[in-house]
Structure 1
């Protein structure tokens, strides 16, 4: 019976996508799933009897029996490593959600600050459509590049420099202010690095 794609992937993931015979990674060689105890000698298609091998090692092994049996301590160690990896991924996902919630709240605060300058009603949740929704999305993106204080300062500057105009003009002007500020900072950092290196 052929090894299923799901089982093949699970075995390769368990083995860290490296050949268990020579240590070569998936980036350097084609990997296959090998039976520790060959099927011709009674081996089964179970995770305990499968391991990751590069094409060369697997071809060299053929149907020969292993010199030493698979060690349960190795499997236990790998199981613990996989559990730790899964827990780490869960923490990373939770942190990502928390950052997204923070950005959402900050963007809403900035949208309401901007709206207060233009006599808009206060938004209690994310706007779903219209120019406020576009500006909200823009503010979320800007928050990945700038602090809320920098954005608020740019909004105020745009408000005082553009006495009249469409909301889109204010948004573009605010973004331009922030872009110029970021370019200025990058130039200063490059000059500082050049001075330190030179």
Structure 2
């Protein structure tokens, strides 16, 4: 005889608690939206903290912030948040570009210390400089590659931008193209935050 298990239904009180908790993390995320290293660190911390909570809180948080839990934007903010403590110790020297800050956050402890000791860490540091300090080779093009240029018009909505990014990323994952998606991801993130700010003001 098989016993059918049913999923426990949440009470109204539990549902309200989930919504309120997720909203608190979303409020934290948006309150720090400014192009500064400290603001980006706190946005990442809000993402990492929300992810560590109950799955329903996390799902609601993603809905409120328009973050795709499987997307690269979420992955980068989460990595920044997970390394909040060690990064905060050097906040005045950190890059104020979120994709570059992600590269710094992704360094191993020894690599990060090497970058700090080099005295090259500063708010305007570029990814190429980080590679040079660490002695990492720059990405090389294979001989025989065909170079193409893709121009994306400004003013596209986030749905169109995300569709373009997803299509290019799928080709990248299949090793059919080599593409840097940093600019379009930054545009998507900017678009997301602007739309959410408007929605929150209108609510």
Q: Is the shorter-chain TM-score for this pair beyond 0.5, marking a shared fold?
A: no
Normalised TM-score (structure 2): 0.21
- Name whichever structure is richer in strand by fraction: 1
Greater RCO structure (CA 8 Å; 6+ sep): 2
Query: Normalising to structure 1: TM-score of the pair?
Result: 0.21
